[in-house]
Structure 1
Amino acid sequence: MIKGIGVDVVDLARFTRQVERTPGLISRLFAQSERGLPVRSLAARFAAKEALIKALGDSAGATWHELEIVNDQHGNPEFQLSGAALRAVHDRGISRVHVTMTHDGGVACAFVVAEGES
């Protein structure tokens, strides 16, 4: 059963300007494992984090680092949640979070589906 759906779009040029103007932004928004990626990939991950918050209905007090995105053994993105983010998912009866991300034509986009039992 679908418990929540979220989508977010990030303008790559605007995101790049924000990162250049605010040097601490990368460390504030991304876990250590996410840093060092190209800006377009960071923008897609930011969109995914925002999409998850929308799928949950709110941020539930979670920090950006608790919404870490890693790649599974096949290279597909997945959330590695911790802290308040993990509690929020469990409290809402969510057993699986699906995420897909893309970037093209100056835009990064992510779509999240939160799934659980009825």
Structure 2
Amino acid sequence: MIVGLGIDQIEIARVARVWRRFGDRFGRRVYTQAEWDYSLSRPQPAESLAGRFAAKEAAMKALGRGWPGGIGFRDIEVTRERSGKPGLRFANSAARRADTIGYGRAALSMSHDRTFASATVLLEKG
């Protein structure tokens, strides 16, 4: 049973501008250390950062809350399985909200082109 669905899209250049302006301060506020390190190791770091940002926003929507609703960006981590498939890990306020709605499993799809990064999150009951 589906308990949440979220979709988000962001302009990659927007994330790149914020990253250039605020640097590591932006990274520490939005990404876990693992996400930050992974994204900066990629050939196109801004695309990776934008994809993870879109995934976090989509997850917040799927959880029925946004960052103004008490879920922090770092409470949602985009992970990678050995196969390369993206996944999600919830902590703190995101984990509490996931428990409240009966979350058991998540599906995450991320994509980007030269201009936009997008993500879709589907949460299923445990």
TM more than 0.5: yes
Over the aligned positions, Cα root-mean-square deviation in angstroms equals 1.3
Structure 1 stretches of 4+ with a deviation exceeding 4 A read none
Gaps of at least 5 residues in structure 1 are none
Which of 28, 53, 78 is matched with 1:46 structurally? 53
In percent, how many aligned pairs have the same letter?
36
* More deviation, 17-26/104-113: 17-26
TM-score by length of structure 1 reads 0.92
1:28 is matched with which residue? 29
Would the aligned equivalents of 2:65 and 2:71 in 1 still touch at CA under 8 Å? no
Residues 1:85 and 2:101 are matched in the alignment: no
Aligned residues: 117
TM-score, scaled relative to structure 2:
0.87
Q: Which has the higher helix share?
A: 2
The runs of 5 or more residues in structure 2 that have no matched partner are 40-44
- Give deviations 1:45-88, integer Å, cap 9, x for gaps: 00000001111111452221110111012111101111111111
- 1:44: how far off? 0.3
Letter in 2 for 1:100: S
